[in-house]
Amino acid sequence: MTGPLDCERGPLGAGGCYVEGVSASSYILAGIDEAGYGPLLGPLCVGLTVFEAPAASDGAAQLDLWKLLETGVCREAGRGGRHDARGRIAVADSKQLKLSSSVKTTHPLVHLERGVLAMVMAMRAAAEGGESDAAAMTDDWLLEQLGTEWPGANWYQGDAVAMPFANDEGLLRIATAQLRRAMSGAGVALHAMRCRVVGEREFNKLAREQGGKAATTGAALREHLQYVWERWGLVATDGSGRLGIACDRQGGRAMYKEFLESCLPGATVSIVEESETRSRYVVEEETADGRRRAGVSFLVEGEQGHLPIALASMIAKLVRELAMARFNRAWGEEARKRAGIELKPTAGYATDGGRWLHDAREVLTKAEREALVRVV
């Protein structure tokens, strides 16, 4: 088999992920998604995951990781914050997994924390050749595992928070062991989990200097694309190109050729398809190290059909929620100290963010308000 592998002929159907190359023994599948592009307060977070999956017997890419890992992962979470009936962790769009803050019987982040921590622990255990030590897990530790750090603003600093805070550690270890067995049995490897956190100051600077807030997501996406391209873009000695990068598409934008060219200078970008639901490209470059090649897709609701995007969505959402917990804790303390009032926490989105700013009007200085309100 030669030529590009079109995922429409693969298990995902209309999922639209695209792997460019000829037959290979395995394929690298990367997914990228964001959380926090629209809010008034708090950081933008952009997650990345990189999996390696075996090819089918005919050399075609097996792209449905939910199917390959069905003994360890599922699309729908169990009721009441529990695992599903088979003890699997849920990997899905973060909006589906985060419970309402009004739920009193369990923590709203139970499913996001379980999925992300289990994946991190499984990845660490595979890299270390044994069980990953979870004794020192904190929110600081998690960001270190994801290759990122908190923004520099004072309201994100402070003592680390122990994790897991929404799950039983023993049950989390059991779920992780089940996930590891599923991955081992399917020949699937998780190579990377990363997050880029863009704080308010950086967000506003990028938006003002580069013509709008879309530049903020673009900057984080550029970093993730370069990271994957440099590590997994080389074509194998047998001529096979086996890298596919899938990104959740935001807004109505459908043309990404110029953006990809700016992200990967020197590479040639060819358009495969640009439609209302997906935009697909082949990226190629001759380098001193060899030839690089990848298929890159931007998909509407990509997290519904592509597990790496869904997990990236979960990473981004969990990190943003952890950041907002620090934000609310820090400003809650300042409100009591400065004005003797209790500030109701905020998730930072437009309406509630506006409510929070009104409630905090006696607490914030003009400079502080300007520093924490994002360009909209």
Instruction: Give 265-323 pLDDT, tens digit per residue.
Output: 999 999 999 999 999 999 999 988 889 999 999 999 999 999 999 999 999 999 999 99
pLDDT of res. 259: 95
**Same domain membership, residue 280 and residue 182:** yes
Q: What percent of the chain is predicted at pLDDT more than 90?
A: 76
**Same domain membership, residue 348 and residue 314:** no
**Same domain membership, residue 362 and residue 260:** no
Question: In the chain, how many domains are there?
Answer: 2
pLDDT of res. 57: 75
Give the whole-angstrom CA distance, residue 76 versus residue 325. Answer: 26
When pLDDT is cut at 50, 70 and 90, the band that residue 18 belongs to is low
Q: Which of 165, 152, 293 is nearest to 228 (CA)?
A: 293
**Same domain membership, residue 357 and residue 268:** no
pLDDT of res. 101: 80
The arithmetic mean of pLDDT across residues 156-173, rounded, is 95
pLDDT of res. 108: 94
Residue 309 lies in domain: 5-324
pLDDT in tens, 175-223: 999 999 999 999 999 999 999 999 999 999 999 999 888 899 999 999 9
pLDDT of res. 103: 76
Q: What's the whole-model pTM score?
A: 0.93
**Same domain membership, residue 179 and residue 311:** yes
**Same domain membership, residue 121 and residue 27:** yes
**Same domain membership, residue 366 and residue 301:** no
**Same domain membership, residue 339 and residue 313:** no
Give the whole-angstrom CA distance, residue 311 versus residue 250. Answer: 17
pLDDT of res. 249: 86
Higher per-residue confidence, 84 vs 238 = 84
Least confident of 78-82, 160-164, 253-257, 279-283: 78-82
**Same domain membership, residue 316 and residue 359:** no
